[in-house]
Amino acid sequence: MNEYANYFEYCVEAKNEGKLKLKRTLLILVYILFPIVFFSVLCMLKLYVLGCFIVLFTAIIWFFTWRYVQIEYEYTIVKGEMTFTKIYGRKSRREFLKTRIQDMSLIAPYKDEYKARADAAQEKYYAVSSMSSPDVYFGIFKDEKTKKSAVVFFEATEKIVRISKFYNSSATVEYSGLRY
């Protein structure tokens, strides 16, 4: 296979559930309560004129904080190396994991007989829209930084599984129920 056949890029958006839903709810509460508290303080200090800045300050707070609850995960495979990136608000990106496919001891669907092996790992990395997605796969590897066993959860496509099979056929488990 040439390097273009082994290149893959895929992006999923995190669903609004669990901790993300709680964070969004708390931020919305901050956006509502901040102007009320700010205006109350201004009224107590009799600085009514500064009330015109409430909308500006609230917009600034929204601009700098809302991106952290709009999360996307991007997977890139280049020459057998899988890179996982978190994208905040479709603007800023932060790479949080890079591992070689051939270093993984198991790449399998997060289903019945394989679930226990994934749950036993000491370090866990999540790059899925939701753990209830039918396409959740995981890869077990040894984390170079912490020297512990680690697992990364990601949403697989047929091409990811095919590339994983090419680089590490003995550890890759194929599943026919993938959507993409």
pLDDT exceeds 70 at position 3: no
Question: Per-residue pLDDT for 1 more than 50?
Answer: no
Task: Provide the pLDDT for residue 146.
Answer: 80
Give the phi and the psi of residue 171 in degrees, each rounded to 5: -100, -10
Q: What is the pLDDT of residue 99?
A: 92
Give the integer Cα–Cα distance in Å for 35 and 153: 40
Range 109-116 average pLDDT: 88
Q: Where are the beta strands (DSSP E) in the chain?
A: 8-13, 71-78, 81-88, 92-100, 106-109, 123-127, 136-142, 149-155
Give the residue from 108, 71, 103 showing the smallest Cα distance to 90: 71
Helix (H) or strand (E) holding 58: helix 54-65
Q: Is 91 helix (H, G, I), strand (E, B) or coil?
A: coil
Q: What is the pLDDT of residue 76?
A: 93
Q: What is the pTM of this model?
A: 0.83
Tens digits of per-residue pLDDT, 22-55? Answer: 999 999 999 999 999 999 999 999 988 888 899 9
Residue 2 pLDDT > 60: no
Binning pLDDT at 50, 70 and 90, where does residue 127 land?
A: very high
Q: In 3D, which of 24, 129, 138 has the Cα closest to residue 72?
A: 129
Q: Which helix (H) or strand (E) holds 98?
A: strand 92-100
The one-letter amino acid code at 156 reads A
User: Cα separation of 128 and 11, whole Å?
Assistant: 9
Give the pair of three-digit tokens for residue 84: 């996982």
Inter-CA distances, 162 with 37, 45, 71, 129, 175, Å: 56, 66, 27, 21, 11
Percent of the chain at pLDDT > 90 equals: 61
Mean pLDDT over the full length of the chain: 90
Burial class of 2 by CB neighbour count within 10 A (0 to 12, 13 to 18, 19+): exposed
Burial degree of 46 (CB within 10 A; 0-12, 13-18, 19+): exposed
Say which residue the tokens 């496509």 belong to: 157
pLDDT on residue 5: 61
